[in-house]
Structure 1
Amino acid sequence: MGRGWPEVGEGWFMVPMRAQKRKEAFHEPRLHRDNCLLQVQHRIVLASSWFRCAIVRSWKLPMKRQIFPILGYQALTFVFATDQPPKTNEPLKQEVYVWQRTWNEPVRESIARHASQFTRLVALGAEITCKPTRRQVVRVAIDYTMLCASKRPIGLALRIGTYPGPFESEDEAAMVVVEQALSLIAEARANQLQPSELQIDFDCAESKLDGYRVWIEAIRRKVAPTPVTITALPTWLNRTSFKRLITAADGYVLQVHSFERPKDAETPFALCDPAVAQRAVERAGQLGVPFRVALPTYGYVTAFDRDGRFVGLSAEGPSKSWPEGVRLREVRADPVALARLVQSWTTDHPASLAGIIWYRLPISEDFLNWRWPTLSAVMAGRGPRESLRVETHRPQTALIEVSLVNDGDADCSSFPVIAARWENARLVAGDGLRGFELLETGPTAAQFRRKSDHDRLSPGERWKIGWLRLDKDAEAQVEIK
């Protein structure tokens, strides 16, 4: 997942100022079926107009002659209506990617706690970098015992970076890919895990989908009977070669999230446009091949120079060091918009849409990824809500510690003023923490105000935002203003 951008645990990178967006050498024509459909629809519109005129004129004719234009118009209406893909309101399966390259304790803990909420887990097993002169393979040390204990079907993912070709079934590049596919399946079976699928995530150029099919056919022959599925982009749907590609596979995942390089720091951008995702799913439904749709939970930190030009981004992981003068901006998956999208599919979706797969499983160390309460709400088609409350603690006489608690299921990024009042005492010291500053507003009153909204208070988290020391013990009222 990610289509060439940094992923979990990867560092930041710089983009040349004059780098041009790569364009394909040529574009294949749209699906012949679409061309024919457009022609048929055009003829239907023309014909239906003729029939309407014929119906109007036919009222002056005898009854026997009136019926033929009416029947013809009804027949055309039936043809046009039945072109739409079949719809259903059957429940959608909910799956999740385990895409972490390092299986540390937070990953294991998240699987132990939340695997039961999904119908399947798909774990990243290996990544291949294919260059014209060399092949590099990075394997992930998967904890198969933990996956087996989840009692859920487990898929394995093989990620392949960009590769321009050539594509042959038995050349060096193909052999590396096939060998890694076989090795992943064998490793899983040796650890008492029978994979439910092998998912290939290849950064394939649109003009190379027929070459990609050669690889899929070779992989599928070698790993049978394990099903082989692929990830696909919405832009592939109108390619004739895509229909041949998904026919060669056992299914596909439509990835409707991506990061488009912004023009400047002020340009609005999103990881997933719900309207675009909706159209892509409807278009995929017309193909009649079972598929799942991948939705995002992650975020990026983007960087811009003093002139507002995009220079790079970083994904989940330790904070990066950026050059001086760089302006940072976060872009995150929008849980409210995606909850509405999930809700719309709950009531009506193409019959060939089998489920949703989330990228990726939340862990406690995440900063840019959703936390579990947020994902749980969105999976149910419910927009997450913020719910802040203030707490006070008295560790010593006349000392008051003030904390904020997020009882909701959405991150809090903007914070209200916290007001404190007391009687019969004088403030002798105090301070704000976690980006809050302390302001005295009177002899017996003070406020905590947020200076920066960079950090987010995640669901279930508690922040100590400041403290007050009075000259003597006194009751204090602290509240959200």
Structure 2
Amino acid sequence: MPAIPLLRRVFAGFALAVLTGCQPDLAPPLDQQLYIWQRQWRPAHEQALAESRADFSTLRVLALQAQPKAGWSRALVNLPRLKADGRPLIAVVRIDGQLPALDLQLAGTQIAQLLADWQAAGLAPSGLEIDHDSGSARLPGYTEFLLKLREQLPPGLKLSITALPAWLDSPHLPALLQAVDSSVLQVHAVSDPRRGLFDPLQAKSWAERWSRVSDRPFYLALPAYGIALLPDTGGAPVVESETPLNRPGERRELLADPQQLADLGRQLRDKPPAHLAGLIWFRLPLPGDRRAWSLATLKAVARGDTLASQWRVELAGQGGLFDISLVNVGNLDLAVPARVELNVESCDAADGLNGYRLQQSPQHLIFNRQSSVRVAAGGRRVLGWARCHGIEQGAWNVYP
């Protein structure tokens, strides 16, 4: 074989290797997981699980909790449904931070029985997560508790903890993180609620600081829900979440902003902090969960899709009698618009429904919002009805 062609091939291969080596390494996609936090499972879980399966790799399920007055109690999880889902599974044990002390013997007994019952139902959790809001001064005792608990767990079962940004200032944090396989840094609902539910800049800063404390993998727990603040006689706000509180007073609604979370997710994918293993979303939404994003919006944010909002007005009826509905055809949950106008021919009767008041003229029906509610992505809401000789299809305007 002639020498020159061989040299050319060697040089070409070398050049290709150099060019390939100069390409920046693409960051692997961040793992996306879900918390299931309902204390009592409902039939609606079946559909929610099915619709979430393609976008979320792992389920972290509230399974057991200990509270100061109520003691230990199980979440009423549908174990056959969880088994049918088939995804990797992590059991979450919530231990209230207000407990005066951690009882290792009692906790170990409760956790061992939980794992045995799940195993008998055909479930094989890959991990156990302890969710305990320990004060920073008590971290040494918490570390000792975790080390001893780990000795009692089945071989191969990973141990993780929910962690708080306040621990970043503790000199005991490195030892705590060495006691577990991974941690879940919660960056929502960790400050005075009057300052908001979530701050993306603060969350990113906490994640970067956390990445420098330990070489163990960690996850970020991110919000996909809202709360309401009620005034209290003592001046401090009372938080209303999934369960309505029988208290008077005006509610101030706080909802995590999907666009803020989408922007943060993109930044973390583009430049992830060291040891960041993924994102865990709180929580799996069910139909009728008025303080959670819809699953459509949650999946769009997790995937990094562009968020878009769009209303469509639809008419349904016959014989001149129409139901008039708003349909959210985007992937972003929306508050109903302030005003909707339709071009019509003469109408014999009409009225607004579901928080809309009708203003009528010979050529227009104008529905004005009196109270605001959110409509989930893909959802619909009837805003009124009309008996008219004609309503122009497509001749409508929506004003936010």
- Residues 220-250 of structure 1 show CA distances to partners (whole Å, capped at 9, x for unaligned) of 1111321111110111123221111111111
2:281 to 332, 340, 358: 358
- Say whether residues 1:448 and 2:367 are aligned partners: yes
2:53 partner SS: helix
1:116 partner SS: coil
Give 1:232's aligned amino acid.
A
Pairing of 1:152-171 with structure 2 (within 5 A): 152-163=87-98, 165-166=100-101
Give the CA deviation at 1:165. 4.7
Give the CA deviation at 1:183. 1.5
Structure 1's 474 and 255: CA in aligned 2 closer, same or farther, altered over 3 A?
closer
1:117 to 51, 55, 58: 55
- Say whether residues 1:413 and 2:330 are aligned partners: no
Match for residue 246 of structure 2?
A: 321
TM-score (norm 1): 0.73
Match for residue 63 of structure 1?
A: none
Give the CA deviation at 1:381. 2.5
- Cα RMSD for the two superposed structures: 2.1
Bigger strand share: 2
Match for residue 18 of structure 2?
A: none
1:152 partner SS: coil
Contact 2:332 2:376 in 1 (8 A): yes
Q: Which runs of 5+ in 1 are unaligned?
A: 1-86, 168-172, 264-268
2:382 to 459, 464, 471: 464
Identical counterparts, % of pairs? 33
- Say whether residues 1:278 and 2:204 are aligned partners: yes
Whole-angstrom CA distance in 2 between matches of 1:309 and 1:242: 33
1:289 partner SS: coil
Give the CA deviation at 1:383. 4.8
Structure 1's 212 and 297: CA in aligned 2 closer, same or farther, altered over 3 A?
same
2:278 partner SS: strand
Report 1 or 2 for greater relative contact order, CA contacts < 8 Å, sequence distance ≥ 6: 1
Whole-angstrom CA distance in 1 between matches of 2:392 and 2:304: 41
Whole-angstrom CA distance in 1 between matches of 2:88 and 2:327: 37
Match for residue 349 of structure 2?
A: 429
- Say whether residues 1:141 and 2:76 are aligned partners: yes
Whole-angstrom CA distance in 2 between matches of 1:304 and 1:383: 37
Contact 1:340 1:383 in 2 (8 A): no
Give 1:109's aligned amino acid.
Q
- Say whether residues 1:474 and 2:390 are aligned partners: yes
Give 1:462's aligned amino acid.
R
- Residues 355-378 of structure 1 show CA distances to partners (whole Å, capped at 9, x for unaligned) of 111111111121110111111111
Structure 1's 272 and 382: CA in aligned 2 closer, same or farther, altered over 3 A?
farther
1:252 to 158, 183, 191: 183
Whole-angstrom CA distance in 2 between matches of 1:111 and 1:351: 31
Whole-angstrom CA distance in 1 between matches of 2:218 and 2:199: 19
- Say whether residues 1:302 and 2:229 are aligned partners: yes
2:122 to 183, 187, 192: 192
Structure 1's 435 and 89: CA in aligned 2 closer, same or farther, altered over 3 A?
same
Match for residue 266 of structure 2?
A: 343
Contact 2:325 2:382 in 1 (8 A): yes
Contact 1:391 1:404 in 2 (8 A): yes
2:131 partner SS: strand
Q: Which runs of 4+ in 1 moved over 3 A?
A: 163-167, 259-263, 307-311, 473-478
Whole-angstrom CA distance in 2 between matches of 1:142 and 1:156: 11
2:211 partner SS: helix
Give the CA deviation at 1:467. 1.2
2:251 partner SS: strand
Contact 1:115 1:121 in 2 (8 A): no
Whole-angstrom CA distance in 1 between matches of 2:242 and 2:211: 33
Match for residue 44 of structure 2?
A: 106
Match for residue 70 of structure 1?
A: none
Structure 1's 186 and 377: CA in aligned 2 closer, same or farther, altered over 3 A?
same
